[in-house]
Structure 1
Amino acid sequence: DYTKAKEWFLKAARQNHAYAQFEMGELHYFGNGVFKDSVKAREWFIKAAEQGHGSAQCKVGYIYRRGHGVPQDYAKAKEWFLKAATTKHPAAQYALGDLYFYGHGVPEDNAEAKEWYIKAAGHRHVGAEYSLGVLYHQGLGVQKDYDEAKNWFIKAARQGLSLAQHSLGLLYQNGHGVPLDYSKAMGWFVKAADDEYASSQYETGDLYYYGQGVPKNYLKAKEWYLKAAKQGKAAAQYSLGILYRQGQGVPKDLQQAKTWYRKAAVQGHNHAALLAFLAILEE
């Protein structure tokens, strides 16, 4: 009951209880029991933040980083994230890492980003674990190390992060730092695909299409391509066009093929645009 919660939090917040002030900020930020109001949310978060409430300090940082109810200001975001980070707040440590990784309000510095990600990952922050995997995979601010990348991706994947599960699938699919293993790639792709991660749905479809790690199965390929295509994955839309053009796993249907080519072409898939044009010439 958000209305009751608001009543009690407001009483405590007016008595300067930082936790209650933070919760009042949350109610206004998400519009729970009150109208969504990022300005009021910020006012309550700042009251709590000024009393050293780490989560409130971090939230104020988010507000300035995203420009919610205030002009976007990366310098102020960094200032608040630093305050929260001194309380060992993992989300703030991760956010600082992101500021340095993307060069938002600070010079881009992957080595500094890594230091903040390490701090957050020490608290098992899943985003930081994944980001460390990316740094090691790409050799950004660190020596490229696929094995270390794999170790960080596994930590994040075990916490259910689809992006990390997909990245592990790619490592096994390409043999980066691990023996090439399509079956293991499929296992990781399916975990992310079942969580509606479009890129993994597409890759699962590809493994069925080419018979890599599983028996070739055009019908299953179509099912996975369709899931990804419905989420706007251009490569999957193009692949569906191929299936309908060739009559693989579906009845041959040039109109359906053209429809899927066009969907992919609209998103900038060049080969799909070419095939859509050729399909028109065939009419």
Structure 2
Amino acid sequence: MEWYRRAADQDDPRGQWSVAQLYDYALGVPLNYLLAMEWYQKAAAKGYAPSLCAIGDLYANGQGVEQDYTTALKWYSKAAEQDHAEAEFEIGEMYRLGQGVLVDEASALTWFGCAMEHGDVDGWGDFTRAFIYIFGVGVEKDTTVAFECMLKAAKKGHLNAQVVVGGWYHSGTEVPQDYGKAMKWVINPATQGLSSAQQVVGTMFYHGQGVPKDKAQAFQWFLTAAKQEYQASMTDVGLMYCNGTGVGQDYEQGRFWLTKAATKGRAHAQRELGFLYFEGLGGPADHPTAFEWFLKAAEQNHPAAQADVGNMYHYGRGVDQDLEKAVEWLLKAAKQGRPNAQQEIGAMYYLGDGVPQNRSQGFQWCLQAAEQGYPLAQSDVGAMYSLGNGTFQNCIKAVEWFRKAAEQGHAQAQFELGNAYISFKGVARDYGRAVELFKLAAAQGHEQAQAVLDYLASDD
């Protein structure tokens, strides 16, 4: 900072741009988009193209200013007048996506062509060429050619290209998965402040992918990216605080970081923040606020949040009870494979709760959840097989499902399995095992199991 500041104070535009970069990417200083903008504008006033482009980025991303694609385009255009390849690429992107302008593939291709022409040295040309093959802008999509071009850009030091190449090796997208190569490519942009690269590095340390598992180091990488307001990283930092993973458990900090990500529209953060409000973790319980956050995530097709919204409508928690809406949201989640939603909608069909009674359909939904290992559904399926409701009666299958749930500590299943051992239904009679199961259920407050134990004790 000291040397950049000395150059900046001497009215050197590159020095001013460098100081702005420090604030823009939180490199040794706290993130501050307003100060970044101030220093970018000093250099932009002298016509310094990288600063003109950077101001366009701030407006395009709504960082420190209200998002404004029209103003972003104005700044990009000023930089493009100097054949600045990055600005030319960004203008092409705006035409491709219709940001501040009408979608116009021909104009997008023209601007991408300019970027390819003027960005040979710094990698922007190869990066742009890779981009048009990824999305098929004026050419047939070709991921092989795209990777070759992206790799060329990465080798020329293009930081975003290095992130993409590393990300592809990390995920096994377009190339065979190779964690060693992934780390090789993402570590440089990560150390230079690119939050997307920092997120990948953190993920690799978290899971021990190509490096020894180190959740404390993962947390530090996520935190570094989170301080740049990278949504995935803010979410991960919040969850790690909540779970005490890689850092001391702190629900208040968890709520703080999840709120930052949630307010930026991150669905997973919205769902987890709703859970904190629902349970009163990191602050007072507030079911209406929990419902609001669940709903925001559910409207983004987040299946866990859809199940939460359905459940709250079902039982009138934080919102007026509405069985029709409960069924609507639970079905959305159930169709995406969410087991708790499958069990709940199954129970509603089985009982005729908010829907016409259909025990066969209720059984099918509960079975889907049971096959995913959801203990409540496993217990329900066992009960349906035991009674022959919604399916044919089969005491052997009933015992099989009760056992699966009982082994996961489900009290009702432990009680039912204990009954099966006593009544010789689907399993050989075993009073000793039955008593063990009744004790396990009773220890969880299961009143019927305790009553049976009391009866057996009095009978002795």
Structure 1 7/147 Cα, relative in aligned 2: closer, same or farther at 3 Å? closer
* Aligned 8 A contact 1:172 1:182 in 2: yes
Give the one of 262, 272, 277 matched to 1:167: 272
2-side partners of 1:54 and 1:150: how far apart? 32
More displaced 10-residue stretch of structure 1: 18-27 or 3-12: 3-12
Distance 1:95 1:226 in 2: 34
Which range is displaced more, 45-54 or 25-34? Answer: 25-34
Take 2:312 and 2:343, find their aligned partners in 1: how far apart are those partners? Answer: 16
TM-score normalised to structure 2 length: 0.57
- Distance in 1 (alpha carbons) for counterparts of 2:346 and 2:303: 17
- Is 2:240 aligned against 1:132? no
Aligned position for 1:273? 381
Distance of aligned partners of 1:12 and 1:214 in 2 relative to their CA distance in 1, 3 Å threshold: same
Correspondence 1:38 to 2:146: no
- Residue correspondence of structure 1 range 77-116 to structure 2 within 5 A: 77-116=182-221
TM-score, scaled to structure 1: 0.91
**Alignment deviations for residues 2-57 of structure 1 (CA, whole Å, 9 cap, x no partner):** 79359826852794452121111122234444343333222211221222211011
- Residue 214 of structure 1 aligns to which amino acid in structure 2? V
Counterpart residue type for residue 73 of structure 1:
D
2:295 corresponds in structure 1 to 190
* Amino acid in structure 2 at the alignment position of 1:274: G
SS, match of residue 144 in structure 2:
helix
Query: In the aligned structure 1, how far is the partner of 2:197 from the partner of 2:112?
Result: 29
Report if aligned partners of 1:97, 1:114 keep a CA contact under 8 Å in 2. yes
Q: Using the alignment, how far apart are the partners of 2:359 and 2:113 within structure 1?
A: 64
Q: In the alignment, does 2:222 pair up with 1:117?
A: yes
Q: Which moved more, 1:217-226 or 1:261-270?
A: 261-270
Distance 2:327 2:335 in 1: 12
- SS at the partner of 2:317? coil
Between the aligned partners of 1:185 and 1:112, the Cα distance in structure 2 is 31
Shift of 1:228: 1.1
35-44 vs 110-119, greater mean Cα deviation:
35-44
Instruction: Provide the C-alpha distance between the structure 1 equivalents of 2:111 and 2:144, rounded to a whole number of angstroms.
Output: 17
Give the whole-Å Cα distance in 2 for the aligned partners of 1:12 and 1:34: 17
Q: 1:4–1:212: structure 2 CA closer, same or farther, 3 Å change rule?
A: closer
Task: Identify the residue that residue 235 of structure 1 maps to in structure 2.
Answer: 340
Q: Which amino acid in structure 2 is aligned with residue 184 of structure 1?
A: T
Alignment gaps of 5+ in structure 1: none
Contact 1:9–1:23 (8 Å) recurs in 2: no
**CA contact 1:9–1:21 (8 Å) conserved in 2:** no
Give the whole-Å Cα distance in 1 for the aligned partners of 2:112 and 2:189: 27
Paired positions, count? 283
The percentage of counterpart residues that share the same residue type is: 36
Cα shift at 1:262: 3.2
Question: Residues 227 and 70 (structure 1 numbering): CA distance in 2 closer, same or farther, change over 3 Å?
Answer: closer
- Partner amino acid, structure 1, of 2:235: Y
Q: Indicate the residue corresponding to 1:219 in structure 2.
A: 324
Letter in 2 for 1:64: Y
| Distance (Å, rounded) in 2 between the aligned partners of 1:138 and 1:265 | 27
Name the SS for the 2:307 alignment partner. helix
CA distance in 2, matches of 1:5, 1:273: 61
Task: State the SS of the aligned residue for 1:68.
Answer: coil
User: Does the Cα contact within 8 Å between 2:117 and 2:125 map onto a contact in 1?
Assistant: yes
- The higher relative CO (CA closer than 8 Å, separation ≥ 6) is in 1
Give the secondary structure class of the aligned counterpart of 2:175.
coil
* Structure 2 Cα separation of the partners of residues 15 and 167 of structure 1: 45
The letter for the 1-side match of 2:158 is H
Instruction: Indicate if the aligned counterparts of 1:62 and 1:77 stay in contact, CA closer than 8 A.
Output: yes
The Cα of 1:192 is off from its aligned counterpart by 0.5
Task: Give the corresponding residue for 1:157.
Answer: 262
For 1:89, give the aligned amino acid: L
What is the identity, as a one-letter code, of the residue corresponding to 1:252? Q
Contact 1:90 1:119 survives alignment (8 Å): yes
**Per-residue deviation, 1:121:** 1.5
What letter matches 2:192 in structure 1?
T
Structure 2 spans left out of the alignment, 5+ residues: 1-104, 395-460
Whether 1:261 aligns to 2:362 is no
| Shift >4 Å, 4+ stretches | 13-17
Task: Indicate the larger mover: 235-244 or 272-281.
Answer: 272-281
1:61 aligns to what?
166
Q: Which of the residues 269, 279, 283 maps onto 1:178?
A: 283
SS at match of 1:167: helix
Q: Does 1:210 align with 2:315?
A: yes
The Cα offsets for residues 45-95 of structure 1, whole Å up to 9 and x where unpaired, read as 122122221101111101211233433211111111111123311101111
